[in-house]
Structure 1
Amino acid sequence: MDFDLSDEQSLLKDSVSRWAANTYGTLDPLTAARTEPLGFPEARWSELADLGLLGLPFAEADGGFGGGPVEMLVVKEALGRVMAPEPYLASIILGGGALRLAGSADQKAALLPGLMDGTARLAFAHGEVQARYDLNDVATTARAVAGGFRLEGRKSVVLNADAARTLVVSARTSGARRDAAGITLFLLPADVPGVTVSAYPTQDGGRAGDVTLSEVFVPAHSMLGAPDAGLPVIERVVEGAIAALCAEAVGLMEALHGLTVEYLKTRKQFGVAIGSFQALQHKAVDMFVALEQARSMALYAGMMLEAEDDAERRAALSAAKVQINRSARLVGQTAVQLHGGIGMTMEYLGAHHFRRLAMIELMFGDTPYHQRRVVAAGGLVGAA
């Protein structure tokens, strides 16, 4: 099997990597970007639109570029390498993914042009405080009324909620709280009466918010996909986000490993560079091995993202997340140990990589959660 990038994919990688390095190559511009009201400069979001990255995953028939999983992984790895704060995961992969998978022709025509040119953004308001990682646990309700529905409930830790013009909201239209059936998705403007967004910074320097819905009216034509059938769409959206996080983590680990090796070459103790100590060399090699294991599983996640067999795809994505989590913890903790005290100071770029890796480890399922999913599936297909 050929794992080399095509000429077009190589050009995409060079383009986005160049933009990322020129924009966020050091800590100062990253810190300045995070102090913006929305947690990122809107001018930078427009630059991503000019590069074609915001339209990358959408079909050519809808005005996009028809990029697949490999193209998305190339982009997320490059953005992850510099911890670009723009809401690519929240708006394009999560919110945009739901619109791409379940949107009607009219909904796509209304929203995709703004989404792709950077003038509109989406947020995926699904998670709830009691649900933890269970995607079917939805307590928010949608009560049928004349002309539409009334939404009531609360969504937690909605990524970049305060930057979104439109929310993709899940609500229960039938069944009990944990039933698989009965969940429906809606497109909801963020500024309609009854919607309250309580935004806050996250531990990794990003932004999120809790969304409260109080008797919010949503017209029937704002339903995204079929009624009571939102869970399969949600699952596919989250699977895409997991693959994207795998690629982002590879970029982060690669950058952190490079910073660590450079530090070992320049930091001196007893009159020599500490990189000359064999024990520390072994630690750096351990980091590299974990990075390459993660890279292999990120590629596997991308390959399996469009697999038709649901059980096979879910097991593959969970297995990839397990390896990414393990590698992220080893690389992050080892980098801190090799740096010493400076490795945990916010004035050092590597500490920010460490924080983001720690957050990725918990997003959309921690290691025990995904291990249980792989075991429940009987392991990876074809494994002994």
Structure 2
Amino acid sequence: MDFTYDDEQTALREAVRGLATKAYGSFEDRRQVVAQAPGFDEAQWARLAEMGVLGLPFSEDDGGVAAGPVEIGLVCQELGRVLAPEPFLASVVHAGGLVAAAGSPEQRADLLGRLAAGEIVLAAADTSPGDRWSADGGGVTAAQDGEAWTLTGVRDPVPNGARADHLVVTALLPDGGTGLFVVEGSAATRSDYAVIDGSRAARVQLDATPAVPLGEPGHDLRPTIATISDITRIMGAQQALGVMQAQVASTTDYLKSRKQFGVTLNSFQALTFRAADMYVSLELAHSVVDWATMVVGSGTRADIASAADRVGLQVSRAARHIGQEAIQLHGGIAMTAEYSVGVRTAHLAVLEQWLGGAQHHLTRLAATVTDHETVEALG
């Protein structure tokens, strides 16, 4: 199996890396951007659109370029490497993915075309307090009056929800099942707040708020919602991979330059072994992330779900190990908000809580154990 990137993929990675590094190569630049709403640089969002990045996952008919999961993963990885706050994962991969999978041709052309052009921001409102990581849509109910639909309930957290021009909302249907709806951002009551890594999220209150069904009205879209959520988890793992790569690189550089007792820290064998263990965790995670990304391109819904849980569990464990060790090996400076190491660790925690923790993935994997044939024990 060939894990190397072709020339076009390498060129894409280098182009995105150059753009992201120019904007956020200095961590102080990132701190200034996230310190105020909307929590990302609108001009940088436009630059990503000009480069064609925001349209990567979508078909050419919908204004995109029909790139594959490897290309999308490379973008997530490079944005994660510098903690770029632009909502590519939340808006393009997650919310845009829901529109691409469930929307009518007219809805896709309109919403995805404008998203790819950088004219709008989408946000997926599919999480309610106490009902995380579920495709059932609990917490928001849909009501129909003739051809008009309204939604009532709460979604929280909604990444970049306060800035979003349109919300893609999951909701319980009157006749059972879960539907997808588009709500004008201005029609909802939104409370913006910062999370621990400096990024932004919102509490969205819907109170008989007008909504437009995505695709066929009243159709149960739980399988579609679940698959797009799983794909988002895998691309979130790509973003986490970029963060962990930066953590390992900055930690090894610090050990080579910081002196104690007249010698650099990498002179102490115990510290070098701990850095080596970080690298092992990174490479194990990297292998699983690459495998899961390829499953997105060729696997069934069940394959993608299994890959999302496997990569989610591996990356969750690796992220915690690498994040904690990076902080420990940097010492007290890593605990400050002015230093990137602690914020990277916080971002890894945010990704885990948003997309599903280790216990969630382990529970879902355990539920499939009985699907496998039993074998006789050796000896």
What band does the TM-score fall into relative to the shorter chain? over 0.9
Q: Gaps (5+ residues) in structure 1?
A: 176-180
Instruction: Tell me by how many angstroms 1:228 deviates.
Output: 3.6
Q: Secondary structure at the match of 2:205?
A: strand
Structure 1 counterpart SS, 2:66? coil
Change over 3 Å in CA distance of 1:285–1:341 after alignment to 2: same
Q: Distance in 1 between matches of 2:314 and 2:370?
A: 14
Contact 2:227 2:301 (8 Å CA) reproduced: no
State how 1:1-384 maps to structure 2 within 5 Å. 1-174=1-174, 182-192=177-187, 195-219=188-212, 222-225=213-216, 227-378=218-369
Deviation (angstroms), 1:158: 0.4
Shift of 1:226: 5.2
Q: CA 1:105–1:228 in 2, change beyond 3 Å: closer, same or farther?
A: closer
Task: Structure 2: give runs of 5+ residues left out of the alignment.
Answer: none
3-state SS of the aligned residue for 2:157?
Answer: strand
Deviation at 1:42, TM superposition (A): 0.7
Cα offset, 1:56, TM superposition? 0.6
Counterpart Cα distance in 1 of 2:4 and 2:41:
34
AA in 2 matched with 1:287: M
User: Structure 2 CA distance, aligned partners of 1:381 and 1:300?
Assistant: 21
SS at match of 1:8: helix
Q: Give 1:308 deviation, angstroms.
A: 4.2
Give the AA of the match of 2:23.
Answer: T
Indicate conservation of the 8 Å contact 1:297/1:323, yes or no: yes
Cα distance change of structure 1 residues 146 and 69 upon mapping to structure 2, 3 Å threshold: same
How much identity, in percent, do the aligned residues show? 37
**1:178 match:** none
Inter-partner Cα distance in structure 2 for 1:380 and 1:8 = 40
Residues 288, 210 of structure 1: alpha-carbon distance in 2 compared, 3 angstrom cutoff: same
8 Å contact from structure 1 (residues 242, 321) kept in 2 = yes
Contact 1:239 1:305 in 2 (8 A): no
Distance across 2 between alignment mates of 1:342 and 1:77: 25
Change (3 A) 1:158 1:379: farther
Distance 1:294-1:150 versus aligned 2 partners, 3 A rule: same
Q: For 2:132 and 2:112, locate their aligned partners in 1 and report how far apart those are by CA, in whole Å.
A: 30
- Whether the 8 Å contact between 1:315 and 1:380 is mirrored in structure 2 is no
Q: Deviations over 1:118-172 (max 9, x none)?
A: 1111110111112133332513111110321121111110010011111101111
Task: Report the alpha carbon displacement of residue 35 of structure 1 after superposing the two structures with TM.
Answer: 2.4
Q: Distance in 2 between matches of 1:15 and 1:188?
A: 34
Instruction: Decide whether the 8 Å contact of 1:172 with 1:228 is kept in 2.
Output: no
Q: Secondary structure at the match of 2:232?
A: helix
1:338 positional shift:
0.8
What whole-Å deviation, never above 9, does each CA across 1:191-215 have from its counterpart, x for those lacking one? 23xx101110111110000111111
Contact 1:184 1:224 in 2 (8 A): no
* TM-score when normalising by structure 1: 0.93
CA contact (8 A) 2:236 2:355 kept: no
Structure 1 352/273 Cα, relative in aligned 2: closer, same or farther at 3 Å? same
Structure 2 CA distance for partners of 1:306 and 1:378, relative to 1, 3 Å: farther
C-alpha change, 1:314 and 1:379, in structure 2 (3 Å) is farther
Q: Using the alignment, how far apart are the partners of 2:199 and 2:299 within structure 1?
A: 34
For residues 198 and 224 of structure 1, the distance between their equivalents in structure 2, rounded to whole angstroms, comes to 28
SS in 1 for 2:186: coil
Query: Per-residue CA shift, 1:335-373, capped at 9, x if unaligned?
Result: 111111111111211111111112222222111110111
Deviation at 1:223, TM superposition (A): 3.3
CA distance in 2, matches of 1:60, 1:18: 25
> 1:185: how far off?
0.6
SS where residue 162 of structure 1 aligns? coil
One-letter code of the match for 1:300? W
With the length of structure 2 as denominator, give the TM-score of the two structures: 0.95
Amino acid at match of 2:325: T
Counting matched residue pairs gives: 375
User: Would you say the 8 A contact 2:136–2:172 is kept in 1?
Assistant: no
Q: State the Cα distance separating 1:380 from its structure 2 match.
A: 10
Q: What is the CA–CA distance in structure 2 between the aligned matches of 1:38 and 1:372, rounded to whole Å? A: 35
CA distance in 2, matches of 1:381, 1:249: 30
Contact 2:183/2:210, CA 8 A, preserved across alignment = no
Tell me the alpha carbon deviations over residues 274-330 of structure 1, each in whole angstroms, 9 at most, x when there is no partner.
111110010000000000011111111111124443333211210110000000000
* 1:196 maps to amino acid: T
Contact 1:174 1:183 (C-alpha < 8 Å) held by counterparts = no
CA distance in structure 2 between the partners assigned to 1:263 and 1:187 by the alignment? 47
**Alpha carbons of structure 1 residues 253 and 367: separation in structure 2 relative to 1, 3 Å:** same
What amino acid is the match of 1:370?
H
Give the CA RMSD over aligned residues.
1.8
* Aligned structure 1 segments of 4 or more residues deviating by more than 6 angstroms: 379-384
SS at the partner of 2:54?
A: coil
Give the superposition deviation at 1:383: 11
> Relative to 1, partners in 2 of residues 1:205 and 1:224: Cα closer, same or farther, differing over 3 Å?
farther
